[in-house]
Amino acid sequence: MKHFLVFNRTDGILANPRLMTLEEAEVFIRDFPKRYQQQGYYLTASRQRIPAEAVDLEIVDEEMNPVGFGE
């Protein structure tokens, strides 16, 4: 079975270090904004407050190296 990671392109980090199925990754992205409903924003690594819906999340293959780890 193929596994995936969710990469947070907004901050250049993994959104979650856990390997997921494609379906789990899609649910993670869909549900991501719900985590920030109470505070009303997502705080980026550069300390900007943006709507959680504006965070750029991408599903990547587990073997992809989106930020150069281990290079």
CA-CA distances (angstroms) from residue 16 to 4, 47, 64?
10, 19, 15
Q: Which residues of the chain form beta strands (DSSP E)?
A: 4-8, 13-20, 42-43, 49-50, 57-61
Could you read off the pLDDT of 52-62 as tens digits, one per residue? 999 999 999 98
DSSP classification of residue 27:
H
- Which pair of tokens denotes residue 34? 């719900």
Amino acid 14 reads L
DSSP classification of residue 51:
-
DSSP classification of residue 24:
H
Give me the residues of the chain with pLDDT under 70, please: 65-71
Residue 68 confidence (pLDDT): 55
Query: pTM, whole model, 2 decimals?
Result: 0.85
- Which pair of tokens denotes residue 13? 């980090």
